[in-house]
Amino acid sequence: MCFQLFLYMFFIGLHLLANEYQRNNISNRIVFLLLINKGSYLCQSSLLIWYWISLSLMYGDKLHLFATADIEMCSKSKRAVAMNKNKGSPKGLHQHKAVQRARPDSINFSKLVADLVETGKTFYSRGWVLGTSGNFSAVISREPLRVAITSTGLDKGSLAPAQFLEIDGAANVVRGNGRPSAEALLHLAIVRCMNAGAVLHTHSVWSTVLSSTHASRGGVELEGYEMLKGLEGVRTHQHCEWLPILENSQDMIELAQRVSTTLREVSGIHGFLIHQHGFYTWGANLQEAKRNIEILEFLMEVLIRSAPSHTLCDPGAGRQG
Ligand SMILES: [Zn+2]
């Protein structure tokens, strides 16, 4: 009898507390009436749990109960919407936490885009992406595959975050306005074949020249340079880096297939050239991709500037009979 009286007092206290914050919550009043009338211990126990859940929704920050369930319930229930309007209350703070945890991809997208904007400025100032050429991408998530990529036809020296798109594994736009770069399929092929976290494409003078002069050789060989050691996985200047040259095409589906085939067949490469077009490289993340492109652009320039000791003319072009 004493225990039953204690329960009644406890529920009345809870009810008054809840009513203070939810004056129009009719369900609380109904529960209160049920409790005043006769109820079994089982019923009272169930209602006690119900009350605790209700309170944890209101005071989750303090009670630290039902935290995980709380986040999901907050995002779905109408109550959470009402809570969110009251930003100054503990309820508002609680909802703010739930939003932060529920959308990590948004934070990741913003960070990656900010880094790609800076990459565009740097590459433009170095003359690698002039006249709206080139494009950049970075992986947001792998399951499902989501990639942040530049929209087509933009000045890479003055990119704005709003000019980036999020695409899925089939190059469909899932966030942002505009069309993805025409070469988005090549980016996706590289991401998949090389497990890359970022892909960078430039139209530099040096890569364009070499893609033409070395076309008949099928690629460019870089060997004996100390700078090679900056490439991921390279430990000695004696390393021989091979940059395959692929024939250019406006059929991106066909070109993406050839890119995939090349990446599967030629192991250990860090980039490739497209004939009279430009250069692609990648990395596990954007920092690694930037390092690779700086080293390889440097070495391509060295190869051309040291022309007397290297034959820059296509050896196959002038060959007679
Ligand atoms: Zn291009």
Rounded to an integer, what distance in angstroms lies between the CA atom of residue 28 and that of residue 35?
11
Residue 238 CA to ligand 1 center (angstroms) comes to: 31
For residue 98, give the H/E element and its range: helix 90-102
Q: Which of 92-96, 266-270, 307-311 has the highest mean pLDDT?
A: 266-270
Higher pLDDT, 78 or 166: 166
Residue 194 CA to ligand 1 center (angstroms) comes to: 19
Residue 129 CA to ligand 1 center (angstroms) comes to: 9
Q: Of all residues in the chain, what percent carry a pLDDT higher than 90?
A: 56
Average the pLDDT over 194-211 and give the result. 96
Half-sphere exposure of 296 (CA within 13 A, CB side): 35
Give the pLDDT band of residue 14 (cuts 50, 70, 90).
Answer: low
Domain that holds residue 14: 2-102
Give the pLDDT band of residue 183 (cuts 50, 70, 90).
Answer: very high
Residue 52: predicted pLDDT: 59
Mean pLDDT of the chain: 77
Indicate if 131 and 235 belong to the same structural domain: yes
Residue 246 CA to ligand 1 center (angstroms) comes to: 12
Indicate if 58 and 181 belong to the same structural domain: no
Angle ∠(268,239,138) on CA atoms, nearest 5: 40
Residue 203 CA to ligand 1 center (angstroms) comes to: 6
Residue 134 CA to ligand 1 center (angstroms) comes to: 5
Residue 17 CA to ligand 1 center (angstroms) comes to: 65
Give the pLDDT band of residue 93 (cuts 50, 70, 90).
Answer: very low
Indicate if 138 and 261 belong to the same structural domain: yes
Q: Which of 51, 86, 102 is the last residue of a domain?
A: 102
Residue 202 CA to ligand 1 center (angstroms) comes to: 7
In this structure, is residue 316 part of a structural domain? no
Say yes or no to pLDDT of 76 above 60: no
Indicate if 208 and 114 belong to the same structural domain: yes
Residue 312: predicted pLDDT: 56
Query: Hey, what long-range contacts does 161-170 have (CB within 8 A, 24 or more apart)?
Result: 161/110, 161/113, 161/114, 161/117, 164/109, 164/113, 164/116, 166/109, 166/140, 168/144, 169/144, 169/145
Rounded to an integer, what distance in angstroms lies between the CA atom of residue 117 and that of residue 122?
9
Residue 123 CA to ligand 1 center (angstroms) comes to: 14
CB-based contact 143:150 (threshold 8 Å): no
Indicate if 195 and 281 belong to the same structural domain: yes
Average the pLDDT over 24-45 and give the result. 52
Angle ∠(129,230,205) on CA atoms, nearest 5: 25
Indicate if 155 and 234 belong to the same structural domain: yes
Higher pLDDT, 181 or 250: 250
Residue 221 CA to ligand 1 center (angstroms) comes to: 22
How many separate domains does the chain show? 2
Indicate if 98 and 160 belong to the same structural domain: no
Residue 132 CA to ligand 1 center (angstroms) comes to: 10
Indicate if 90 and 222 belong to the same structural domain: no
Indicate if 144 and 270 belong to the same structural domain: yes
CB-based contact 149:164 (threshold 8 Å): yes
- Which of 19, 15, 90 is CA-nearest to residue 57? 90
Residue 158 CA to ligand 1 center (angstroms) comes to: 18
Say yes or no to pLDDT of 176 above 50: yes
Residue 174 CA to ligand 1 center (angstroms) comes to: 23
pLDDT, one tens digit per residue, over 207-259 is 999 999 999 999 999 999 999 999 999 999 999 999 999 999 999 999 999 99
Residue 182: predicted pLDDT: 81
Say yes or no to pLDDT of 89 above 50: no
Rounded to an integer, what distance in angstroms lies between the CA atom of residue 173 and that of residue 231?
32
Residue 10 CA to ligand 1 center (angstroms) comes to: 71
Residue 281 CA to ligand 1 center (angstroms) comes to: 12
Indicate if 69 and 54 belong to the same structural domain: yes
pLDDT, one tens digit per residue, over 151-166 is 998 999 999 999 999 9
Indicate if 111 and 187 belong to the same structural domain: yes
Higher pLDDT, 15 or 288: 288
In this structure, is residue 176 part of a structural domain? yes
Q: Quote the pTM value.
A: 0.65
Say yes or no to pLDDT of 181 above 90: no
Which two structure tokens, joined as six digits, stand for 111?
A: 């960070």
Residue 181 CA to ligand 1 center (angstroms) comes to: 9
Residue 201 CA to ligand 1 center (angstroms) comes to: 7
pLDDT, one tens digit per residue, over 104-131 is 566 698 999 999 999 999 999 999 999 9
Rounded to an integer, what distance in angstroms lies between the CA atom of residue 283 and that of residue 150?
17
- 263 Cβ neighbours under 8 A, 6+ residues apart: 189, 190, 193, 194, 269, 272
Residue 187: predicted pLDDT: 97
User: Which CATH number does the domain housing residue 166 bear?
Assistant: 3.40.225.10
